[in-house]
Each structure stands twice: as structure tokens, then as C-alpha cells.
Structure 1
Amino acid sequence: MAEVERRIVDACRAAGRPRSEVTLIAVTKTYPASDVRLLASLGVTDIGENRDQEAAAKAAEGADLGLTWHFIGQLQTNKVRSVVSYAHMVHSVDRSRLVETLSREAVRAGREVGCLVQVGLEAAPVAGPGGRGGVPPGDVPRLAELIAKAEGLRLRGVMAVAPLGEDPGEAFARLRTVAGAVRRDHPEADVISAGMSGDLREAITNGATHLRVGTALLGRRTPFVR
């Protein structure tokens, strides 16, 4: 935890940004709820998950912790009702049908759910496990407008993952441009979710407000200890 915090502080200093501008989201997929509780005791306030079945159970077990829950994985419409019941922000909105389903379920649950448009940064779409997902940059304004107008949803900004094999700094620079265009139309949509364990410095340099960090905090399936 201390090492990750040091890296964030150093990157913010190098970018001329205050540390307070950057939110650390601890990604706890495959780790037990006890690790979520331990992270909370160390000051972590935001938790990210990418599988609903796992996330729903952890959110219920940690309901007393006052955490902010982020759903960061690809979201199937048949999982939306469950995700809306606990997630404060969905990072992976990538199609109009998902917007419609999120809106309907948010209204049904009486909740407001923050939404980020997932931006695909590959030069060309990549099928299969190598693809990072998301909509092409040119389609982002249309989807952002749908979210902004949808009842029960709040457009918060954009999210992306740096393409495999590409300089993350260049990729996140493109994301920053897309985010700026969204913010011109929707000034309140000021979130840029970018950067993971290996490229958080490049993300912070390019304006990231939310980092999704798992491995650097919890390791690769090794116990997390103080």
C-alpha cells in the first residue's frame, strides 16, 4: 500500500498535480472480502470489481464499511439489475442498449448510478482476449449524450485501458483529448478512469482522476498483509 501511494505521489508531483485530484480504486477481483476489509482499514475508500457474482457478495459483506463500489468489467444486460443494487459507478458503458437497461434498473431501484463511457483506443478493433473493448472515439459523444439524458444515470466521464503493445502515454494522451471533448458538452463529466499497476504514471501525466490498481496492491494471488 505504501509503495503504491509513493508512486502516485511521485507521479502527481512530476505532473504538477495535487495528490487530491487522483482517486485510487483497489481492484480486488479473486480476493476475499476479508482483504477488502483490510484495505478499508488502511484507508482505501474505493473498490473495483469486474464480475457481478463476486462483487455483489463482497459489497453485501462489506456494507458497513461505507465504501464506494466501481464495476469495471464488461457488463451483460442480464447482470445490470444486480450491479445497480450496489455499484456507485459503472466504468464500462459501451452500447446504447446497456444505457437503456441501466436507466430502467436504476429508476426501479431508486438509485442514481454514475456512468463512464468506455473508449476503445486501439487503432483498429481487436477481437478476442487481446481486445480492450470500448467504443471508437468518434462514437463517444453520441453515447455520452444518451447517458446524460437517461433517467437514473449520471454521466461522469470516460474510461479506457491502454492497448497491448502500445506506449500507454500516447494512448492516454488520446483519451485525454476525447475526455476534453465530452467535458465541453457536459462540464460535470470530469472523470478520466485510466491507469493500472503498470502504467499509472503515464495515466496521471495525462489527466487521470481514477486509477484501477490490483496487482501492485494485492500481488498475484498471494496473501495481502499489513
Structure 2
Amino acid sequence: MTNDIFGPFPGGPAFQSSLDERQRARYEQLGANLDVVEKRIADACAAAGRARDEVTLVVVTKTYPAEDTALLAGLGVTEVAENRDQDAAPKAERCTELPLTWHFVGQLQTNKVRSVVRYADHVHSVDRARLVASLSAAVLSAGRAPLGCLVQVALDKEAGEGGHRAGVAPAEVGELADLIAGTPGLRLDGVMTVAPLAGPLAGDPARAFARLAEIASGVRARHPAATMVSAGMSGDLEQAVAAGATHVRVGTAVLGVRSPLG
């Protein structure tokens, strides 16, 4: 495999000419999948009366190799997400010259924080005060730019369900948002959720994302710059866009059915 695909200027004829036959086939497959997803987002925006540029596609590259990330960059993808540091850290290092913004979307343990702040531009899964403190310490120690943080909202906890799942109950979002906003080295970017598996909103992503929109509005009332609303995945991105999501996290629809990294 050539390293040309990991250079700083992916895309265009020179990039495509650097691909071998297997890479070119994967490149074409990813491009076709991206076209389908882009049309879905564009159609959802049109149906909701929103401009297409109001919604950012974040491609979730978890379980897929760095080569796929480079091919996506060659196709014009600029935002990618990972959920496990042990996979993300080496992948981000391999892709360091590519013009990519990295989102960490998985549950984050404090012992992984120092590694994550080396490459992540946004952490979508901030759900407790201890994590806020750890992220702040790591960012300040690294001397890097402020880290964008989103409060992970567990909508099932509003109904008393999902007690052990990641995320904070809707009633606790404001307090955690205030803490992030006032913590050195961190920047409050907004809120994130996944469609709940329990409680009254389970199986109804439209209602779930509408509830997130209400919560996001409350956060913005106190913190006007916290405009990110991260919601929607391959199966429910249309409902998320309709409810006002600014970032949709799509993996399977772009990369295919997941299999573990070898």
C-alpha cells in the first residue's frame, strides 16, 4: 500500500491515481454510499425547510482501518468520529496530515483522557463532573486549544430508566453545561443524544429528537455559543434533521455493516 493517500492534500486525479485496484474499488464504493447519504440529508433538510449547510455529516469510522479514513478524506469528508481510544489514537496518528476534524463519541473513561485530547477536536460524550475535571487537566497540561465538549443526554433517564447507561438525565443537563462552560481549557459546544432504548420515547426517534431540541434550546438560552445538536445515525438521520440536529453521526450507511478490526 502506498502512503500517498495519507498526505496533506487528498482528493483529485493525483490522489485517485495513487490507488491500487483494491483501494480504487473501495474508494468507489464509499463514494457511492456517500452520495446516497448526502441525498438523504439534502432531502431531509428540504422537507424541514432548512438549508443543507445547516447540517454537518460526521462519518463514524469506528472498527474500520485508517486506510478507509484516508479514502473518505479523498472523497471530501472532513469530519470523522471514533468511539474507542485504543482504535482511534493510532488511526488519528496515521492520518495526522489529513484535513480532518476528529470527534470522540464513545463513553470516555478518565484513564483515556490524556490520549483523547491529543487528537479530538470535540468530545460528544461528557456526562459527569469528574470527566470534566480530567479533560480540563489534560487540555491544560497539553497546552492545546480549548476542547469542544457536548453534554451527552440520556433521554431514558427522564423516565427513570437506563440508570447505568452513559449520559445525564435531562434535568441535570443545565448544571453540567454550566460546569463545562466555566472550566478552563474546555468549550461548551452543545448537546448530544442517541435514540433511547427504554422509556416512553423508545422506538420513537422523532419525539426523542424533538425532546433533545427542547433541551438544546434551554442550554443555548444560558450559553448562546453552544449551538451543536448532535443526533441521528444511519437509521434515523431524517428525524434528527427534522428536529433541528446540526450534526448527524453516520457510520454503517457510509462504510457498510461493521466487523471487528483485525
The one-character-per-residue Cα deviations of 1:31-82 (angstroms, maximum 9, x if unpaired) are 0000000111111100100000110111100011120000000000000000
Matches within 5 A, 1:55-94: 55-94=88-127
Instruction: Please give the alpha-carbon distance, in whole angstroms, between the structure 1 residues aligned to 2:116 and 2:209.
Output: 27
Matches within 5 A, 1:147-226: 147-164=180-197, 165-221=202-258
Q: Provide the secondary structure at the position in 2 that maps to 1:198.
A: coil
- Aligned residue in 2 for 1:114: 148
Matches within 5 A, 1:48-59: 48-59=81-92
Q: CA deviation at 1:125?
A: 2.6
Q: Provide the secondary structure at the position in 2 that maps to 1:161.
A: coil
Q: Structure 1 length as normaliser, TM-score?
A: 0.95
Runs of 4+ that moved beyond 3 A: none
- Aligned residue in 2 for 1:126: 162
| Structure 1 position 39 matched with structure 2 position 69 | no
Q: Provide the secondary structure at the position in 2 that maps to 1:178.
A: helix
Aligned residues: 219
- The residue type paired with residue 100 of structure 2 is L
- 8 Å CA contact 2:73, 2:99 repeated in 1: no
- Aligned residue in 1 for 2:4: none
Q: Structure 2 unaligned segments of length 5 or more: list them.
A: 1-33
- Aligned residue in 1 for 2:7: none
The one-character-per-residue Cα deviations of 1:177-196 (angstroms, maximum 9, x if unpaired) are 00000000000000000000
Q: Provide the secondary structure at the position in 1 that maps to 2:173.
A: helix
Instruction: Please give the alpha-carbon distance, in whole angstroms, between the structure 1 residues aligned to 2:78 and 2:160.
Output: 36
Q: CA deviation at 1:160?
A: 0.2
Q: CA deviation at 1:127?
A: 5.1
Instruction: Please give the alpha-carbon distance, in whole angstroms, between the structure 1 residues aligned to 2:93 and 2:57.
Output: 21
The one-character-per-residue Cα deviations of 1:77-115 (angstroms, maximum 9, x if unpaired) are 000000001000000000000000000101111121000
Q: CA deviation at 1:221?
A: 3.6
- 8 Å CA contact 2:231, 2:248 repeated in 1: yes
Q: CA deviation at 1:29?
A: 0.7
* Higher mean C-alpha displacement, 91-100 vs 103-112: 103-112
Q: Provide the secondary structure at the position in 2 that maps to 1:66.
A: coil
Larger radius of gyration: 2
Instruction: Please give the alpha-carbon distance, in whole angstroms, between the structure 1 residues aligned to 2:217 and 2:127.
Output: 18
- Aligned residue in 1 for 2:174: 141
- The residue type paired with residue 35 of structure 1 is D
Give the fraction of aligned pairs with identical amino acids, expressed as a percent.
62
Please tell me the root mean square deviation across aligned C-alpha atoms, in Å: 1.1
- The residue type paired with residue 152 of structure 1 is G
Q: Structure 1 unaligned segments of length 5 or more: list them.
A: none
Q: Provide the secondary structure at the position in 2 that maps to 1:146.
A: helix
- The residue type paired with residue 113 of structure 2 is V
